[in-house]
Homo-oligomer: A and B are copies of this chain.
Amino acid sequence: VYFPLKTFSSQEFNNWGRMASTIRDVALRSGVSISTVSRVLNNTCAVAEDKRIRVENAARDLGYIPNPNARSLLHKKTGGVGILLPYVTGEFFSEFLTGVDETAKQNDLFLLISASHHMASEWQASVQSVYKRVDGLIVMAPQMTPRQLNLNADAPIVFVNSPVADKDKSSVDVIDFDNKGGVALAVQHLLDEGHRRFAYVRGPRLAFDAKLRLDGFIEAMAAAGLTDFSILEGGYDQEDGIEAAEAILKLSPRPTAVLAANDYCALGLLSGLSSGGVRVPEDCSLIGFDSVPSARYARPALTSVAVPIREVGVRAMQSVVRKIAEPDSTETVSVTLPVELVVRESTGPPSS
């Protein structure tokens, strides 16, 4: 049985402000024993009506809120979920967190967030900082190797957009979205428009999702029987796209369609190409990945693969909730959510 850590409605006890009082204070004021106070407050077993009322009044008057640290010490439950992220910046992350937060609220869980664990040492520090403070963990670690992740934990873990080895998928939940398939969709759209000469900007070499997207591109080329394509270096930032654009301008013959591993890179390509006199989409079609808001406002608006990142957050939190509720279940979930191509003005048929 999951013990209710939050017993009080906000209506009843809205005075965190007053001097913190303990259960002893409530007992003294209501003239009953500490045990009885506890029983009333937790509704744990029958208590004489008059005492119940006295206790409730005393608790309200004192603005009593139980100390969660003392409770956690007993139940080994905290009511919290830890979120471990590589960074905390950007639209991608904030969408994700929106889904997580919403689902946490529904289940009366609080969120403990630890970010910027790019290196293994920081990762360990992050993991430690939530030790015994949370009942479960949501981890997004696209740049860690499977070994570094150190899967054995004494709390349930759900991985999101992280390189979990296949053999580990039987021991942890994994929520993902279809990185490979997204690029395949993008390529297919361009093929349908008539494009045959492609370039792909690959994203950071260390990122797990960039690797999958690249694989998706290569497989899509193979499936289409195309060999006339270039793969270019470039990370996830606008600057990377601007640099990659220079490389593309030097290609001869020039590709008629360019794909980038994410939107910010694609937006950099957009300005880089137009600075170089290449019009998008007239001279060259362009597709990004993630469909961040900026993609929508760019001119031409950027065709991009939309990722259900909020939904990923919701599903991840739901998985954690399930694991917390059923600690003995050995069943694990591995989900890959579908993605969608959002076609905007940055794509069209090739000119010649």
Contacts and interface: CB of A to CB of B under 8 A. Distances in A.
Interface of A: 6, 8, 10-11, 13-20, 65, 67-70, 72-73, 78-80, 87-91, 93-95, 97-98, 101-102, 105, 110-116, 121-122, 124-125, 127-133, 150-154, 267, 293-299
Contact of A132 (B15, B67, B131): B67
Contact of A116 (B90, B93, B102): B102
B91 A98 contact: no
Nearest to A18: B152
A96 B111 CA distance: 17
A198 to B, nearest CB: 24
A263 to B, nearest CB: 9
Given A17-B150, A73-B73, A105-B116, A10 B128 contact: yes
Contacts of A72: 69
A114 B90 CA distance: 19
Contacts of A91: 90-91, 94, 293
Taken together, the copies of this chain in the complex come to 2
Given A89-B94, A129-B110, A297-B294, A16 B68 contact: no
A94 B152 CA distance: 31
Nearest to A295: B297
Closest 6 CB pairs of A and B: A299-B299, A17-B152, A10-B124, A94-B94, A69-B72, A294-B294
A104 to B, nearest CB: 9
A131 B6 CA distance: 11
A121 B10 contact: yes
B115 A153 contact: no
Given A11-B121, A110-B130, A94 B90 contact: yes
Nearest to A155: B16
Given A16-B131, A69-B132, A128-B8, A94 B88 contact: yes
A150 B17 CA distance: 7
A79 B130 CA distance: 11
Nearest to A65: B131
Contact of A112 (B89, B94, B110): B110
A53 B42 CA distance: 45
A27 to B, nearest CB: 18
A88 B154 CA distance: 29
B17 A131 contact: no
Contact of A16 (B10, B113, B116, B154): B154
Contacts of A151: 17
Nearest to A299: B299
Contacts of A70: 69, 73
B113 A113 contact: yes
Given A69-B132, A110-B130, A129-B6, A17 B153 contact: yes
A142 to B, nearest CB: 17
Contact of A124 (B14, B78, B124, B267): B14
15 contacts: A11-B124, A13-B128, A16-B154, A18-B154, A20-B154, A65-B132, A68-B132, A88-B94, A88-B101, A89-B94, A89-B97, A110-B129, A110-B130, A111-B112, A112-B112
A132 B10 CA distance: 16
